Amino acid sequence: QLQEHYPSDERHKGFGIKWSSTASDNTASVGAVLASLTVSLTSTSLSSDEKQPRSFFRRTPFQPNFVSNAVFIVSMFQNAVITMVNHGGRPFSVSFLESRPLCLSVGLSFLLAIACLAETLPMVNNFIQLAPFPTKSSKVALLRLLVINLSSCYFIEYFSTFIFRRDVWRERNESYQHHALSTLGTLAADEEERLLLEERKQNSILVYFLCLVTFNFVVKILR
């Protein structure tokens, strides 16, 4: 009677009950029902495995999309922002522009993030496994998010130091050139200050160049 009210459909994919003939017995055995369910589940799982190839670890192959693009670009950009903003600088250590490794790491991270967003280098995007962005508006929205992230983090740290650590703020914002010229002498500390001033000038040129290239990518995104 159940089979008459709920007939089986061969086109149905998924979980189903395989009806067995019970003409000789009015009551179907529990073992026959369980066997039917097992056969149905096994066939369904085999068909799904054939449609979705899996890797060595039985995981579905990675399929890049817009969400994975946003997670990768925002994470890389945010790590560079955290490194730049949380750097102690003077009077605890050298400032941001006095450390070439720090300038290179942060600047190249910003440049790579914007270059991937602009899709100017397709070979790089394919190597990182980034999916093509669907529309121009999606690029502009993600670029706006990166700019807001950078500016908000910097100004929050700047004004927090100004309000709660006024002495550190004064030390960071004093003129480096005046500080170097006011320590004319033959001491080792004076020579170190001169070397840091030269390092700052060279790193400033490097940072300006990276900013110019990054700005070029930004123009391509907005164009």
166-191 residue pLDDT tens? 888 787 777 554 554 554 455 666 67
Three-class DSSP category at 210: helix
Q: With a cut of 50, say whether residue 133 has pLDDT above it.
A: yes
65-122 residue pLDDT tens? 999 999 999 999 999 999 998 887 777 778 888 888 999 999 999 999 999 999 988 8
| Token pair belonging to 12 | 């149905």
Q: State the pLDDT at residue 87.
A: 84
Q: What does the pLDDT average to over 139-165?
A: 91
CA distance 51 to 49: 5
Q: State the pLDDT at residue 38.
A: 52
